[in-house]
Structure formats: structure tokens, C-alpha cells
């Protein structure tokens, strides 16, 4: 098949029970054609057929990786696509073994490796290791809520002709885990922590008293100024790639005070900067405080 820049090719691999079928349905909602458990030998013909029907086809193959022979054949095809000038993507969906065990117990399903559960999980991880090394996209679904997974899939695989883009400013707490959707991640734990002021502890970075406390730190003003300069330099370049969603995550320890303060400080400035740097692009700036507790 002759290469077409408009053709999007995605392979989906991962551990059984990690969410391949769920991601497949999400991709279908975004307009992708998803094909399941296709032998490698049949992939070129199917790709060619669907390309003839729609040159701008977005096609995703959900891989059946139960046997070593399939892995070997897929490596050959993966190399062939690159030789022909394509840029295929491979999404690897991972999950912690303890979570997978829990899911299988709850659903009372048998693992495709047809062994006791612990052995089956270990065997599958070994078989999939060569495929995992090829990934261009990676997601661990162990602790993701369905809506978080859906948003991650949309951010990475939605292809829209609409020029509208969304930039999200996200505050979070490191003790609650890194946000998997983050494109840029900034650590502000070096700033003085209002948590240790008992009068401020119940409040958040949306409250003036907390904002004044954080901004009084002598490191705060130069940090914010440098951060704005850095974002002015890098963010427009990221958005020129036409990504529909871009997430800037700012984290402190608990996600209540310092990170929220910094997100609120950027929220008023960022739309103006983007309007000046990218005047012909429609960009919406949103804020989200993932771990902030309401009083």
C-alpha cells in the first residue's frame, strides 16, 4: 500500500484485564475503526482495503499476544511499516498484578493463558515484554477511574479538524500520586507550606490568606516570573502540534495550598499570553484542583 500521510495506524497491546476492550470502545467513540485479534498476515490486506475506502482512515488493531509466534510476526510487520515510511503508534496498557488478580476474582473470568492466576500473569508479562518495549504510548490503569482513562484516550488519540484546543491547569498532591494526564509537571514543594500554620491549615490556595502566605515566600515571585517566561517559550510550540488537550500539572505535598495558589496565579495570566502568542487559534483555559478539600 502506498503511504498516505492521513492514514493513522495504532496497535493496542497490554495485559489481559488491564482495559484493552474498554480503550477500544473509547477509540470507536472518537471515530477510530478497531479490529480485534487479527493475524499479522492479514493486517496489510485489511489496511489496504480500508485505506482504499477512506484514505484518512484511523485504524486500530487490538493485538492478540497469547503466543510467541505472534510476537515474532508482529516485530517483522512493525519494522516493515517503518521501512515503508509510516509512523505507527503502539499503545501499551499496563496494570499492577494485585489489581489484575482482584479484577479476575470479581468477574470470575479465566485468564487467557489457562493457568492458575499467578502463573498466568507472570507468563503473560514475559511474553509481552518485547512488545512493551516498542510502545509509543503507555498507560497504567491500576488506579484510574473510567472518566480519567476516557480523558487520557481523548487527549492522545482524538483527531479533530476543529481548531479549538483546551489547556488545563491542574493542581495535585504528590502524596496522592502523579496525574497520568500531565504533559508538563511542576513541583512547588520548595515553597513555604501553609499546612504548618494551624490557622491556615483548613483553608486552600483559593483563599486570600493562603495566597498571601505563599506569595510572601521570597522564592515565590522569581519562581512565578521564571515559570511564566518558560511557559511563554514552550507552550505555544506544544499547541502548534494541534493537540486537543494539554495539561499543566502543578504539585505540592497534599494539593491543598501551594499548588492551588500557583494554579490560581496562572489562571488569569495564561489566556492573555496564549491570545497574544497564538492570535488565530481558539484556546480555552480551564482549572482543576484534583486533591483540594472543600471546607
The class level of CATH for 8-157 reads alpha beta
CA 21 to chain centre: 17
Residues 34-63 pLDDT 10s: 998 888 999 999 888 887 888 878 999 998
**Cell numbers placing 261:** 495558589
Q: What is the pLDDT of residue 191?
A: 98
Residue 286: pLDDT above 80?
yes
Residues 177-193 pLDDT 10s: 999 889 999 999 999 99
The phi, psi pair for 30, rounded to 5°, reads: -95, 5
CA distance 28 to 212: 48
All CATH 3.40.50.300 domain ranges in the chain, comma separated:
8-157
The phi, psi pair for 54, rounded to 5°, reads: -145, 100
Amino acid at each position: 500500500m502506498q503511504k498516505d500521510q492521513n492514514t493513522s495506524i495504532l496497535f493496542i497491546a497490554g495485559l489481559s484485564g488491564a482495559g484493552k476492550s474498554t480503550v477500544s470502545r473509547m477509540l470507536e467513540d472518537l471515530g477510530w475503526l478497531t479490529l480485534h485479534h487479527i493475524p499479522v498476515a492479514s493486517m496489510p490486506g485489511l489496511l489496504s482495503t480500508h485505506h482504499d475506502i477512506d484514505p484518512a482512515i484511523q485504524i486500530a488493531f487490538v493485538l492478540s499476544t497469547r503466543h510467541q509466534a505472534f510476537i515474532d510476526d508482529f516485530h517483522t510487520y512493525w519494522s516493515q511499516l517503518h521501512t515503508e515510511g509510516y509512523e505507527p503508534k503502539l499503545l501499551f496498557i499496563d496494570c499492577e498484578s494485585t489489581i489484575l488478580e482482584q479484577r479476575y476474582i470479581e468477574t470470575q473470568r479465566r485468564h487467557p493463558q489457562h493457568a492458575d492466576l499467578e502463573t498466568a500473569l507472570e507468563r503473560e508479562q514475559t511474553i509481552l515484554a518485547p512488545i512493551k518495549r516498542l510502545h509509543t504510548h503507555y498507560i497504567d490503569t491500576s488506579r484510574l477511574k473510567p472518566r480519567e482513562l476516557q480523558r487520557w484516550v481523548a487527549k492522545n488519540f482524538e483527531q479533530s479538524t476543529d481548531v479549538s484546543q483546551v489547556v488545563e491547569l491542574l493542581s495535585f498532591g504528590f502524596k496522592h500520586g502523579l496525574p497520568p494526564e500531565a504533559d508538563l509537571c511542576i513541583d512547588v514543594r520548595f515553597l513555604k507550606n501553609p499546612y504548618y500554620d494551624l490557622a491556615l491549615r483548613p483553608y486552600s490556595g483559593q483563599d486570600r490568606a493562603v495566597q498571601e502566605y505563599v506569595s510572601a515566600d521570597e522564592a515565590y515571585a522569581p519562581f512565578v516570573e521564571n515559570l511564566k517566561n518558560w511557559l511563554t517559550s514552550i507552550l505555544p510550540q506544544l499547541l502548534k502540534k494541534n493537540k486537543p488537550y494539554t495539561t499543566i500539572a502543578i504539585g505540592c505535598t497534599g494539593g491543598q495550598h501551594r499548588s492551588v495558589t500557583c494554579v490560581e496565579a496562572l489562571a488569569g495570566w495564561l489566556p492573555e499570553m496564549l491570545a497574544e502568542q497564538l492570535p488565530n487559534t481558539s484556546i480555552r483555559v480551564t482549572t482543576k484542583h484534583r486533591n483540594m478539600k472543600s471546607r
